Chain A
Amino acid sequence: MRQVMTGNYASAYGAKLSRAEVIAAYPITPQTSIVEKLAEFVTSGELNAKYIPVESEHSAMAACIAAETAGARTYTATSSHGLTLMHEVLMWASGARLPIVMTNVSRAMAPPWSVWVDHMDSVAQRDTGWLQFFCQSNQEVLDTIIMAYKVCESRKVMLPAMIIEDAFILSHTSEPVDVPDQHVVDSFLPPYAPELKIEVGKARGFGSLVKPDQYMEFRYKDMLAMREARDRLLAVEKEFKNVFGRSHGGLLEQYMCDDADVVLVTAGSVAATAKDVVDALRAKGSRVGLARIRAFRPFPHEELRALGSKVEGMAVLDRSFTFGAAGAMFSEAKASLYSCQKRPVMKNYIAGLGGRDITPKILGKIFEDIAVMARRGVEEEVEWVDVAGLPRRWR
């Protein structure tokens, strides 16, 4: 049934349709309406789950870890400082091979305080062993939660997943969302039935001490699991399309990229604006395209290499910055393409931090700039866009 709802409600419905059994959550702006809605679902009996009103995000994740170890499907949601407070236990969740699914409403980090979107919080968790999906629409948020449980709970994956909504742009903006019927979701997503769980009568230790001659094999298996997650995601998305009639582009969604001379690579809600800009530029005869990093983990190396081999210029727009280096998405895309025979000119644009708008005009100028760079080579590899005091005028 189509309903008009915010990204946060789409998250709550996604968790409800996935029949999350234990929800442990702590409120943080702008995530609150997710957990409020879930608390309502649980209280009204619409969702048969235990809701644990924990006293911190660290405890939210720790409680999910314990519940998931005991065989329950778990869900939580957080944002920015909540996510970064969880950092330790995020690693615990993946290291313990627990397919927890969490929404992160991506928000800038303080100081100075900001409650608005950027991707610093999420990007800073890239090494925690979680699958990370950056969403462009509220529909994608709901659908990806359901898909993520299916991908993550498969025997060879058993890793957690983070569904990333841009603060306010998705979290608090209403869009039409198709809410699938419960019985259809049930047929797509079977109950969680892990091979191992903590239970009385079986004196197992979960997370014991290991020696140096044992540890590395655990991490190697995590690496294999993340590799497997890539293939599982592609298979699950195909199946999702067969059942629900829509999909969201695999690991790297490509828009008008087939014959493009230059492409913009980015993640999150700004991709929707960029698609409009692509349409407008195409109408004027420019062969431009948009590639959206939907899965940041596992990273779409293969897709980017295939794309990079056929374009002249590749602009990468990061909504965060890795200090002392460059935007993380740029650095990783560049690393992916290094071994390609034919490589495009690449440039990194840092924009939209702390909720600053990335307007169609700015995106148009990025396309113009990368086209120029593609012809004559890059002068400055990383450029901060629309910052007061810098010579270039972007607005």
Chain B
Amino acid sequence: MAKTTIPEEEFTYPGGTGCPGCGANLVMRYLLKGLGERTILSIPACCWAVMPGYWPSNCLKVPLLYTAFEATGAAMSGLRAALDIKGVQDVTVVGFAGDGGTVDIGLQAMSGAAERRTDGIYVMYDNEAYMNTGIQRSGSTPWGAWTTTTPVGTSHGFKHEPKKDIMAIMQAHRIPYAATVSIAHPEDFIKKVEKAKSIKGFRFIHAMSPCPPGWRMNPSQAVEVARLAVDTHAFPLYEIEEGRVRITRKGKGVPIKEYLKLQGRFSHLTEDEVAAIQSAVDDGWKFLLAKESSGV
């Protein structure tokens, strides 16, 4: 039997209530493999507020503070301050929030925590819509996607605004470390988490988190879709350390339609619209390459 290339110890028990094929389940699993037991999580309203299970059950092996939807950043600051005043230094404080809880309602509190240099790791698992409430658009929903609040209808009413670039927002906060991670690349994922853990200050992890019900796709293809997101450059893997961008996986430049066609949320798009997405993805990739080579 081949030796695994990621830590074997698990920090999640069976019994979580995630959907079949849930990307966020793997995000949590790999995150905790990278962080270990001396971790305190804070989770706002999101899928993972439900996935640990009903009280008094809890499928996580680390302590967990639930918090209000918009308050993850503030909760991180509060936890850190209490640990500091009590002299506890070897515990990693982690905020773990969805995309809506990060780029929309939680942006202010996260920005505050980042500006205050709160010593902790903020993880955004990005399923690109409000999935726990039933697939409503968020600021992180990509251009072209169907959601229940961007119904396609007869007038092509898909989401007509591009996704917020949360990594650029975090880079602008001049935090010491930010990285994108994918469940299709667990070694890269865990390596980045371990690196984040070794750094002091506010750190940010952006995890792509395929959502089979919300993306209208086959649950067995979650990892494949996540891999295609990287290979098509829809979701490049990179890190920003002290402001410097480094791409950790170049991807194969697979045409974006290969990624889109596995997801029902894009099935209404015309060829021209797919071409427009391809063009936007190409521009984004060129911009990232330029950032990397210019050293900013």
Contacts and interface: CB of A to CB of B under 8 A. Distances in A.
Name the interface size band of chain A: 35 or more
Looking at chain B's contact residues, is the secondary structure mostly helix, strand, loop, or mixed?
A: mixed
Interface in B19-37: 37
Nearest to A92: B68
Contact of B37 (A50, A53, A200): A200
Contacts of B81: 22, 24, 50, 52, 63, 67, 72
Interface stretch (A8-16, A143-151, A201-209): A201-209
Interface string B85-115: 1100001000000000000000011011001
Contacts of A56: 108-109, 112
B66 A72 contact: no
Nearest to A202: B63
A14 to B, nearest CB: 19
B71 A208 contact: no
Given A92-B68, A203-B63, A59 B109 contact: yes
A337 B50 CA distance: 45
Given A56-B108, A62-B68, A203 B58 contact: yes
Most chain B CB within 10 A, of A58, A60, A62, A206, is at A62
B280 interface: no
A70 interface: yes
Contact of B64 (A60, A64, A206): A206
Contacts of B82: 21-22, 50, 66-72
Nearest to B52: A205
Interface string B57-92: 010111111111011011111110111111000010
Given A70-B83, A72-B82, A59 B37 contact: no
Name the interface size band of chain B: 35 or more
Given A22-B78, A65-B78, A204-B64, A59 B71 contact: yes
Interface in A154-207: 198-207
B249 interface: no
Contacts, number: 159
Nearest to A60: B74
A68 B38 CA distance: 19
A6 B56 CA distance: 47
B79 A89 contact: no
Interface in B36-60: 37-40, 42, 49-50, 52-56, 58, 60
Contacts of B86: 21, 70-72
Contacts of B112: 54-56, 59
A69 B82 CA distance: 9
A49 interface: yes
Nearest to A26: B112
A48 interface: yes
Contacts of B73: 59
Given A206-B65, A210-B54, 5 more contacts: A59-B112, A66-B77, A68-B78, A202-B63, A208-B52
8 contacts: A24-B78, A59-B71, A66-B77, A208-B56, A209-B53, A210-B54, A211-B54, A214-B54
Closest A-B pairs by Cβ, 5 of them:
A66-B78, A55-B112, A207-B66, A70-B82, A63-B78
Interface of B: 37-40, 42, 49-50, 52-56, 58, 60-68, 70-71, 73-79, 81-86, 91, 108-109, 111-112, 115-116
